[in-house]
A and B are shown apart, each in its own frame.
Chain A
Amino acid sequence: MAEDIKKLMYVNRRAPYGTIYAWESLEVVLIGAAFDQDVSLAFMDDGVYQLMKGQNTEAAGMKNFSPTYSALGDYEVTKIYVEKESLEERGLTLDDLQHLVWEDEDDDWAERDSIHLVSRAELADVMAEHDMMFNF
């Protein structure tokens, strides 16, 4: 059975607002996850801004959908890869990002970190393990 489930990766490279890519990606991810796909996410380039804490979109006039990333754990999306170099190039660290967790049902709902910080080279290896990639 397991071999029928394709491993899908959604790659997010753009800033969260100004275009609809980030929100569209998140919606597609949630829909896929609701259908039991094996989904993982990668954030690189300006895409790392999507995960930042304390977003305020009032001036931009767009819906602030950043709270929705916290729901990914409920949808059993537990593999979120953030590229280390992309953060560094923008003067950011993991502390600037939301703390995203999932709860391990098999271990008394223990909270586990969803975000994995990986180097550019490591991310390339992770990508290679996936059957399909979607770029947003």
Chain B
Amino acid sequence: MPIEVNGKTLETDEEGYLSNLNDWEPGVADVMSKEDDLELTEDHWEIINFLREYYEEYQIAPAVRVLTKAVGKKLGKEKGNSKYLYELYPYGPGKQACRYAGLPKPTGCV
């Protein structure tokens, strides 16, 4: 189902992930989070930006276990744990945050 972001219509797949990575802009995360009734804070954005950098470097969206470890290494132990990440992203930090970040569904998520 396509989504409307700043007057543009962007294609998504059947699970709501952007079809084209290059369509992403911060407005995508705003629109998607509104649909989920989630208010994005700086902490949410930190993870979204982290995921975009991860994708840029490795060309994949990391599985949640890998994400958790990588966040811990880069942003500190107090953030690199499931409790912190699931509080930010209750639908699953891998799936939900990757979707907001415009990445494909994480490799290893079924």
Which residues from chain A sit less than 8 Å from chain B, CB to CB? 27, 30-31, 33-35, 63-65, 67-68, 70-71, 74-75, 109
Contacts and interface: CB of A to CB of B under 8 A. Distances in A.
A71 B108 contact: no
B58 A67 contact: yes
A64 B57 CA distance: 12
Given A34-B107, A34-B109, A74-B69, 9 more contacts: A30-B63, A31-B108, A33-B108, A34-B66, A70-B58, A71-B62, A74-B66, A74-B70, A109-B73
A63 B107 CA distance: 16
B41 interface: no
Interface in B47-104: 57-60, 62-63, 65-66, 69-70, 73
Interface residues of B, number: 15
Contact of A74 (B59, B62, B109): B62
Contacts of A67: 57-59
Contact of A27 (B58, B62, B73, B107): B107
A20 B10 CA distance: 28
Contacts of B66: 34, 71, 74-75
Nearest to B66: A74
B21 to A, nearest CB: 10
Contact of A31 (B58, B65, B107): B107
A75 B61 CA distance: 12
A33 B107 CA distance: 10
A133 B59 CA distance: 26
Interface in B2-50: none
6 contacts: A30-B60, A34-B63, A70-B58, A71-B60, A75-B63, A75-B66
Contacts of A65: 59
Q: Which of A33, A34, A67, A68 has the most CB of B within 10 A?
A: A34
Q: Across chains A and B, which 4 residue pairs bring their CB atoms closest together, nearest first?
A: A34-B108, A34-B63, A71-B58, A30-B107
Nearest to A35: B108
Contacts of A31: 107-108, 110
